[in-house]
Amino acid sequence: MTSSAATNKPRQIPLDLPWPRYNRATRADFISSGSNAQALGFLKHAARWPDNRLALVGPEGCGKTHLAMVWALENDASFADRTTDVRDIAASGRVILEDCDRWLITQESEAFLFHLLNILREEGGSILMTARTPPARWPVRLPDLLSRLSAVTMARIKEPDDDLLEKLVTKLFADRDIVIRKRLSKYIARRIERRSAAVEAAVAALDAHSIEHGEPVSVSMAKEVFGW
């Protein structure tokens, strides 16, 4: 093909589709590695949580919500609607309260959690709380609540390791019906920012570039798009 022909090659315009195509939240779909092994172990043995309370702690985009959804599916738990009466929420018996470190910033939110913890303890219910920081560092001013939170068992999810990032790259491409070589997943994992959101953005960018230019995703494309 001549250079002029290549220049005139029609380009496909990537559609702004809602990816990933498969919005799954099962345990089998969760990517396990050394960075999240502790959290997986705690969720597998929820009956052993001291006081039936667990704080799932880890950086942004590390999989806390995915694991919370897994626990919800496997234990018939419900995500707390903070606009609902506390007793109605506790009635489900197993409750998930997300982003506690961001949410506990008012007297009302502190009172809400304090009463929820008390009711669940009285009725033998369980609660899974997620946050980016340990409970002892949440911006709580109510002394009795702070005391209870300081005693909550914590399961940490660490920053993604190389193995997890490689698996995540492969999975996110597979969600877009793209099969890639291990060389590409390894190449991206070694250079990408260690956040799932960064990996998702990289996969989306490469997919869009591939569609627009009619070329398969490759290491050379990653070099071109990201300047690595």
* Residue 106 near residue 140 (C-beta atoms within 8 A): no
pTM comes to 0.76
Domains and CATH numbers, the chain: 37-156 (3.40.50.300), 160-226 (1.10.8.60)
- Cis geometry, peptide bond prior to residue 14 (ω within 30 degrees of 0): no
User: 46-76, pLDDT tens digit by residue?
Assistant: 989 999 999 999 988 788 998 999 999 999 9
Instruction: Say whether pLDDT at 138 is over 50.
Output: yes
User: 177-220, pLDDT tens digit by residue?
Assistant: 999 999 999 999 999 988 888 899 999 999 999 999 999 999 99
Here the tokens at position 204 are: 């989306």
Alpha helices in the chain (DSSP H): 3-7, 37-44, 64-75, 86-90, 100-103, 107-123, 143-150, 162-174, 182-189, 196-213, 219-226
Alpha-carbon distances, residue 198 vs 8, 89, 111, 164, 215 (angstroms): 33, 34, 36, 13, 22
